[in-house]
Amino acid sequence: MRLRLAGAVLLSAAAYYVYLPLPSGVSEPWKLMLLDALFRSFMQASDVAHALGVCHRVHLLNRVVSWVEVIEARSSAAVHVADSTLGGVPTRVFEPSGGSRPKRGVIYFHGGGWALGSGRMRSYDLLCRKMAEDLDAVVMSVDYRLAPEAVFPDQYHDALAASRAFLSAQVLQRYGVDPQRLCVSGDSAGGNLAAAVAQELSSDDTLQVKFKAQALIYPVLQALDFHTPSYQQNQAVPILYRPVMARFWLQYLGADSSLEPLLLANNHSSLDQPGISAEARSRLDWTGLLPAERRKHFRPLVRETGSAGVVGRVPGLTDVRAAPLLAERGVLGRTPKAYVMTCEFDVLRDDGLMYGRRLQDAGVPVTSDHYEDGFHGCMVFAYLPMMSDVGWRSMNNYIRWLDQNL
């Protein structure tokens, strides 16, 4: 009897921990709850280890990720897989066997808040294998440096160095890639790097080869407004909570974590901040950039006065290499045609929607692929054990767009 009672108590406690009220309409809510419970457990354990001085919270999380997810480079009959370097940056290369030559080429940057993950993770390995096989394309998945050891602009410089090497005649010839059919892509923080690289290289007139397309998967593109409608609507929706995104930004920009409350209150972007021009503010003014159905009943949070000098202490907040949404229209207009995936239940939804609108306004052809039942990170959950329906759909639609546009 006591064992049954103890079991019932433990089961109830587990159910209480796992259960999380989710918005109606999110895809397969119980799978998302289980995934969130797993992530929360790791996050809380890493916070405890950090507080006790055992190790940095990011180091523990990456050790867990490496133990669970990182796999060796294994070739198959369809795709040859090998670990190499690209512009001095570790890269996993996926080459389809047979097929026609020259082949299409895709360089991919993984997500993880510029601090977590690897292109050698099982989820990204499976994604890139499928891309290589379905597209008959050479896919290069880049392992850029990570925070806290590396901070902005280190990750950006790695992405840029790898991309320049990817576009070089030497690499294109070595792998038999068509210089007219190249794409830069990435998800979340990787989407940020892909957008920044596309801007920089599209404006470089010394390059003979440039990208034909950019494919951005729920990208993070700005850190001045943590009260966009999607940040307000989805601030407590897994797997990316609003405070977690603010923490990732501060780690990436090499800033003190004590600034997190200021970012969450939009104190860092108050009107009395001299480092933020009116022109810069207009580039992320969601009241004009978002359609009415996305703005809903939400109101902007713009403070007259805030915390003086934050932008001066953290200049990356307004650096377009870190925040591509702030780029000038002329720069955006030179970038290649774009695919931008967004998810309704994602704090970063409006970053992607605003960027797509600004690209269109600058004359760039844009395909906006929005998932009403999607959540942040869903595309990499297209396979077991956490396979989600929206993950499978989004992955296939993303690859289909590449097939039709590359």
What are the catalytic residues? 188, 346, 376
Helices and strands, counts by H and E, the chain: 17, 8
| Dist. CA 361–CA 323, nearest whole Å | 18
> Which residues fall within 8 angstroms of residue 327, CB to CB, at 6 or more apart?
199, 283, 320
Task: Evaluate whether 102 touches 109 at the Cβ level (below 8 Å).
Answer: no
DSSP letter for each residue of 79-94 = EEEEEEEETTEEEEEE
Give the tokens for residue 32. Answer: 């998302």
| Phi, psi (deg, nearest 5) at residue 339 | -120, 125
| Dist. CA 379–CA 119, nearest whole Å | 14
Task: Evaluate whether 164 touches 197 at the Cβ level (below 8 Å).
Answer: no
> Which residues fall within 8 angstroms of residue 96, CB to CB, at 6 or more apart?
78, 79, 80, 103, 132, 133, 136, 137, 138
Q: Parallel, antiparallel, or unpaired for β 366-375 and 89-96?
A: unpaired
368: closest CA among 395, 393, 343, 345?
A: 343
Amino acid at residue number 243 = P
